[in-house]
C-alpha cells in the first residue's frame, strides 16, 4: 500500500496544499484574507474617488477618457497589490520551511 495523502489518493481538488504545517496553513489563510480585505478596500476607495473626480466634468467625452485612464491605473494598482501579497506570502513560506 502506498503512503499517499487522502487528496492524492482520491484526487480531491484543493486550493491549498493539504500537507501544510499549521504555520504554513496560517500564512496561506492570512494571505487569502489580505487579498480579500485589501482588494475590497482598494476597490471601494477607488470607486468613491472616481465618482468625485468624474462629477464636475461636464463633457461626456472627457468623462469617458478620464474614466478609462482611471480604470487602467486601478488595474495596475490592483495587480501590484496582488503581486506584493503573493511575494510576502512566498517570503514567509521560505522562512518557515
Label residue 81 by pLDDT band (50, 70, 90).
very high
What pLDDT does residue 61 have?
96
pLDDT at position 88 is 95
Q: How confident is the model at residue 14 (pLDDT cuts 50, 70, 90)?
A: low
Q: What is the Cα–Cα distance from 27 to 33, expressed in whole angstroms? A: 10
C-alpha cell at 10: 482520491
* DSSP code for 13: -
Q: Quote the CA–CA distance of 18 and 25 in Å, as a whole number.
A: 9
Q: Are 39 and 81 in contact (CB under 8 A)?
A: yes
pLDDT in tens, 37-76: 999 999 999 999 999 999 999 999 999 999 999 999 999 9
Amino acid at each position: 500500500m502506498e503512503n499517499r495523502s487522502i487528496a492524492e489518493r482520491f484526487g480531491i481538488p484543493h486550493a491549498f496544499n493539504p500537507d501544510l504545517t499549521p504555520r504554513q496553513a496560517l500564512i496561506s489563510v492570512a494571505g487569502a484574507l489580505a487579498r480579500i480585505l485589501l482588494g475590497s478596500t482598494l476597490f471601494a476607495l477607488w470607486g468613491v474617488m472616481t465618482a468625485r473626480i468624474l462629477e464636475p466634468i461636464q463633457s461626456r467625452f472627457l468623462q469617458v477618457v478620464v474614466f478609462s485612464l482611471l480604470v487602467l491605473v486601478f488595474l495596475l494598482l490592483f495587480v501590484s497589490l496582488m503581486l506584493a501579497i503573493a511575494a510576502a506570502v512566498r517570503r514567509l513560506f521560505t522562512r518557515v520551511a
